[in-house]
Amino acid sequence: MKTLKMFGYSDDLVECEGIPGCDEFDVWHNGDSRGKFVVSDGQQAICIHALYCGSWAFAITSENDRDDYRTMPDWPVRRSFGKDCDYSETIEIDVPDNAVLRRVEK
């Protein structure tokens, strides 16, 4: 298993580390900051929504709205606030070794 780590920084950046595809992403678009990312191991996937409104938060959902929520992978998720940035939640997700992250453009 590898660990994907994500947190927000500034009012427009999402920092990701730990698996292929991770980088610093500028998510500012049309006056607000939010980003959508998919983590997949080729068989299972999750979608991570990054949201900024004075502080950063992350929501984890199935890859698309047609998926049954019961198909969500059972990947352990840990959450903390202020660990890597004073005004951001940090999420750490244990994923399979072959998992990759990709940003979904708006």
Structural domain boundaries enclosing 80: 2-104
The pLDDT score that the predictor gives to residue 71 is: 74
* pLDDT averaged over every residue in the chain: 91
Q: Kindly state the percentage of the chain with pLDDT values over 90.
A: 80
The rounded distance, in Å, linking the Cα atoms of 32 and 27 is 8
Residue 82 confidence (pLDDT) above 90:
yes
Per-residue confidence band for 23, with pLDDT thresholds at 50, 70 and 90: very high
* Residue 52 C-alpha from the chain's centroid: 13
Q: How many domains does the chain have?
A: 1
The pLDDT score that the predictor gives to residue 29 is: 82
**pLDDT by residue (tens digit) across 36-60?**
999 999 999 999 999 999 999 999 9
